[in-house]
Amino acid sequence: MPSDLPFRPYLCGYGYGGAQWSIEVMATSADDAESRLRAIGAWGRVDGERMLRISLPGPTSWWERLIVWLRGADR
């Protein structure tokens, strides 16, 4: 279900262990976020722990080329 609309972060709240928590879901609208949250409930799984988050300023094309080059350098 590709879209030309921009993806934005939506916060989705839930209760667990007597506390309120939120997760961030990237979606094109509030309705899309709700649909994605239902899909997480039905099909979601834990893939692993995020160890690092890198925010890249501006266009990333040269970063992408660098990553591809670095991946090829270890072979």
pTM: 0.61
Q: Residue 67's closest CA among 26, 56, 7?
A: 56
Say whether pLDDT at 15 is over 60. yes
**Rounded-to-integer distance, Cα 75 and Cα 73, Å:** 6
pLDDT digits (tens, 9 = 90+) for 43-58: 999 999 988 888 766 5
SS3 content of the chain, % helix, strand, coil (to 5): 35, 25, 40
Sign of CA dihedral 61, 66, 67, 68: positive
pLDDT digits (tens, 9 = 90+) for 22-32: 999 999 999 99
Say whether pLDDT at 1 is over 60. no
pLDDT mean across residues, the chain: 85
